[in-house]
Amino acid sequence: MRTRTSSVLTASLVLALAAGPLAAPAFAAPPSSPAAASTGHATDGTDGPDEKALRAALGVVPNQHATAALVRVGGTDGRWRGSAGVRDLAGGRPAHPNALFRAGSITKVVTAATVLRLAAQHRIDLDAPVQGYLPGLFTPDFEQPISVRRLLNHTSGIKPGAGLGESFAQVYERRFETLTPQEVAASAISKGPEFAPGEQQRYLNINYTILGLLIEKVTGRSYASEATRLVLRPAGMHHTYFPGTDPHIRGPHNRGYQTVERADGTVKLLDVTEWNHADRWAAGDMISTTADLERLLTKLFRGKIVPQPELEEMFTTPAGLPDATRSAGLEYKEVGGQVFWGKSGSRYGYSAVMGGTRDLSRTLVYSVNATDAKSAKRNPVIDAITTAALR
């Protein structure tokens, strides 16, 4: 499984914290975190999750890299649950262990599963051109047919769609505006193809935005209602939902923060909890919990949601592209001689992962309130959790 990582903050941030632009108590771990918030059976050996290492990984939270962390490790070798950090910097209460959070691109797992269930019902043909399902969307520039499968495994050749800005400052300023999925799709199609279908694998949200439109076209119902009916309910994900244009997280949650630099070179943490992510839609706007994602993972991998042979699509990378690591909704990575399948996701203030071995001998779900969640640089809190859980 490929974890989305965040940055190790620069020396200027460390100095700024030491100098005190952020109040020191904001990063003082509450007495009950994390040890009193951990439960379950684990080991300190090599046959299961290392409880000592997991406690150590969460023991540094909150710090400059993360304000809260929720972790669930499972499998046949044992399980472990833990939480650390604070609900918000102002109040300093311990992080809510069952908090809702923005799951980001883990939404794509649900979208892929919805499409594959419709394929199992013979309502969608994975080899059929999406142009036939969505007449009027594609321009004549798209001469070659793009199969539904090409959207699922990110080999469509469609360019990225429009956003609300290129920098954090730009998108933050417009965070309550609505950019519809239809507008995003139309903007992408207007650019013409980037490469021939199947020629490359390029991970882009636009593929799953168009899959969301496909689901609505085929069923005549909203994406949210169909994804809930076909995936969330069968998985028992009773706390997961799609917020649409609502910028709030409905229910108990730990607030998300983004590190930003002041004009004088010091930094501050900006609250980014409230945000309208309607443009991410079927590609990344789902709100969930670690328990719900663990239910999705286990039932999905056991074939309780997507039947065979459609489930194989989620464990099959595109033929002819030996470097491809992504399948329909998932991605694989080898760790310590084992192959893990899963999905990462991030929105500003929130980083998450859901994944495990195909036989479910080891699973990992986490939500980390990373302070630079959209950065490509590594986050030491996330690295420590992953290392301890997947050793």
**Is residue 1 one of the residues assigned to a domain?**
no
Mean pLDDT on 202-207: 98
Distance set, CA 16 to CA 19, 21, 23 (Å): 5, 6, 11
pLDDT at 309 over 50: yes
**Is residue 274 one of the residues assigned to a domain?**
yes
For position 148, what pLDDT does the model report? 98
**Is residue 4 one of the residues assigned to a domain?**
no
If phi > 0 it is left, if psi is from -120 to 50 it is alpha, else beta; for residue 122 that is: left
Mean pLDDT on 6-13: 28
Order of all β-strands in the sheet with 350-357: 80-85, 66-74, 363-370, 350-357, 338-347, 331-335
The more confidently predicted of residues 38 and 70 is 70
For residue 389, the surrounding DSSP H or E stretch is helix 380-390
**Is residue 143 one of the residues assigned to a domain?**
yes
Mean pLDDT on 84-108: 97
The C-alpha angle with vertex 384 and arms to 265 and 353, in degrees rounded to 5, equals 90
For position 48, what pLDDT does the model report? 73
**Is residue 19 one of the residues assigned to a domain?**
yes
**Is residue 98 one of the residues assigned to a domain?**
yes
pLDDT tens digits, 54-80: 999 999 999 999 999 999 999 988 899
| Strand ranges, E, within 237-284 | 257-261, 267-271
pLDDT tens digits, 246-278: 999 999 999 999 999 998 989 999 999 999 999
**Is residue 6 one of the residues assigned to a domain?**
no
pLDDT at 24 over 70: no
The more confidently predicted of residues 16 and 87 is 87
pLDDT at 287 over 90: yes
Containing structural domain, residue 109? 11-390
Cα gap 181→186, rounded to integer Å: 9
Cα gap 189→118, rounded to integer Å: 25
pLDDT at 159 over 80: yes
Query: Around Cβ 335, how many Cβ atoms within 10 Å?
Result: 17
pLDDT at 10 over 60: no
Distance set, CA 341 to CA 198, 249, 315, 360, 386 (Å): 22, 28, 8, 10, 14
Q: What is the DSSP string of 285-316?
A: -EEE-HHHHHHHHHHHHTTSSS-TTGGGGGG-
Q: Which of 39-43, 217-221, 238-242, 320-324 has the weakest average pLDDT?
A: 39-43
Cα gap 102→4, rounded to integer Å: 14
> How many C-alpha atoms does 174 have within 13 Å on its Cβ side?
13
pLDDT at 43 over 60: no
Contact 172, 207 (CB under 8 A): no
For position 320, what pLDDT does the model report? 94
| Strand ranges, E, within the chain | 66-74, 80-85, 101-104, 257-261, 267-271, 286-288, 331-335, 338-347, 350-357, 363-370
Long-range contacts of residues 18-24, Cβ cutoff 8 Å, at least 24 apart:
19/266, 21/262, 21/266, 21/267, 21/268, 22/89, 22/267, 22/268, 22/269, 23/89
For position 39, what pLDDT does the model report? 59
Q: Which of 32-41, 266-275, 356-365 has the weakest average pLDDT?
A: 32-41
Supply the CATH number for residue 123's domain.
Answer: 3.40.710.10
Mean pLDDT on 164-170: 95
**Is residue 2 one of the residues assigned to a domain?**
no
Domain count, the chain: 1
Dihedral angle at the C-alpha atoms of 111, 311, 143, 159, nearest 10 degrees? 40
Cα gap 342→232, rounded to integer Å: 17
Cα gap 139→390, rounded to integer Å: 46
Tokens of 261: 């630099």
Closest CA to 240 of 73, 101, 364, 71: 101
pTM, to two decimals: 0.90
Cα gap 184→255, rounded to integer Å: 28
